[in-house]
Chain A
């Protein structure tokens, strides 16, 4: 763990804090409408299907398939300079939402739409654990 973490960090709100708390426990938690059951991501106050503001949280299966990706070769923020190049995956989760996170242990040549991946967890500070995607 890096004590001089120089990358962008999230500023959680009461609506989103359970998501980040879940990651610290190595759980991928998704917000779900407590009335109609629709899962939504990113966390927000209202269900767009029934306009309920009652929410609960479910643990995602932690699996998914690649929907798209990009391989970044330029550091738009100095904190990522040492990571270049890095793969950012857009992944379809079986819960019906997507997650955007970096790939770990997946080669560029293996990338394709539909590639199965699984969620991993990387603690980067005392407060922050980020999701990543690993090969299945």
Chain B
């Protein structure tokens, strides 16, 4: 397992998260990147590898703005919301190959003020099958395309909307402990149940936010990570997984299994840890149901038991598995999961605003593009 602890997260950065701005996505992406680089105690010109989130800034933007003289690697990992965590694997691979020392992962977006996230799917090339065969019938947005997965889960396993509500409510409680979370009003299960139906069974409060801002992460080689400004957070295991019928959920043999189910066993094996070792989990939460399904695909419970698993505040700071301690995409901001890597790093450094006591090992997942999955397991050094 050559990538095991080949590198560490050494810097994390965010902008203020907003719902309304006249700034550009590029300016958010550069600001967040600079914050991450400074957090690591590096200079922008120290960055020798770039994996920007797709559909945003490109390598040329960073070379130009940062004055990087010798960029040695750039790539994107086109997996939608699974991209940020999948790019950790890509970063470790180029670090292990000796190509790079410090790789910057970054994202900036004007998801609220610019192109709305819900409308983007129509323009994305990996969705041309859906564009031709499902959108003309009115199945257009992710909420509509994912809802049949949740409905199938409900019909097969008796999963209830109030169980999805548990996820939304707990995530909101965590957001209210954050200085940089956009949703600060308390939410109850009754509030969730009273929120308007978007595409049954998904209600408004099952859906993530549309946000403006940026987030970034620096991954450094293991032999460069221990003399920087902050303690390194070691990457123990990492993997990506692609589901069957990756672009068309309709044709997927099992609607209730995501690409993460293929990635998770690889990452746990690489890390050499068990589920009991995980102190905190930042789980991609574009919709509440996607969190529940991933808990199953990660192996924290059996398929079909996710509804019972999340009940009674199990995902809270004092629950059996604290999840999305920053408020996630549901209540902090939709930063496509880059904010989940930022939060896991802070938890394992012991500097989170809603700190899980003595968090030593944690995991972060990504989910996107109709079912792609990614996972990284990390530890305090």
Contacts and interface: CB of A to CB of B under 8 A. Distances in A.
A70 B133 CA distance: 16
A104 B143 CA distance: 21
Contact of B144 (A9, A11, A70): A70
Given A42-B248, A76-B144, A71 B197 contact: yes
Nearest to A73: B197
Interface stretch (B150-158, B178-186, B235-243): B150-158
A94 interface: no
A69 B255 CA distance: 11
B223 interface: no
Interface in A90-113: 90, 97-102, 112-113
A9 to B, nearest CB: 6
A70 B138 contact: no
B304 to A, nearest CB: 14
A72 B122 contact: no
Interface centre among A9, A11, A88, A98 (most CB of B within 10 A): A88
Contacts of A70: 139, 144, 147-148, 151, 199-202
A98 B155 contact: no
Given A10-B133, A69-B151, A100 B250 contact: yes
A71 B139 CA distance: 10
Contacts of A76: 118-119, 140-141, 143-144
Contacts of A85: 197, 200
Contacts of B135: 8, 10
A83 B255 contact: no
B331 to A, nearest CB: 20
Interface residues of A, number: 37
B132 interface: yes
A32 interface: no
A67 B200 contact: no
Nearest to B252: A98
For B139, B141, B152, B255, the residue with the greatest tally of chain A CB atoms inside 10 Å of its CB is B139
A112 B155 CA distance: 8
Contacts of A121: none
A38 interface: no
B132 A12 contact: yes
B134 interface: yes
Given A74-B198, A74-B199, A98-B250, A88 B137 contact: yes
B136 A42 contact: no
Interface of B: 118-119, 122, 129, 131-141, 143-144, 147-149, 151-152, 155-156, 196-202, 248, 250-251, 255
The 9 lowest CB-CB distance pairs between A and B, nearest first, are A70-B147, A68-B148, A71-B200, A76-B141, A68-B152, A10-B132, A100-B250, A73-B197, A76-B140
17 contacts: A7-B136, A9-B136, A11-B131, A44-B129, A67-B255, A68-B149, A70-B147, A70-B202, A71-B199, A71-B200, A85-B200, A88-B137, A90-B148, A90-B250, A113-B156, A130-B136, A130-B137
Given A71-B199, A100-B133, A128-B136, 10 more contacts: A7-B136, A8-B135, A12-B132, A42-B251, A74-B197, A76-B143, A88-B144, A90-B255, A98-B250, A131-B137
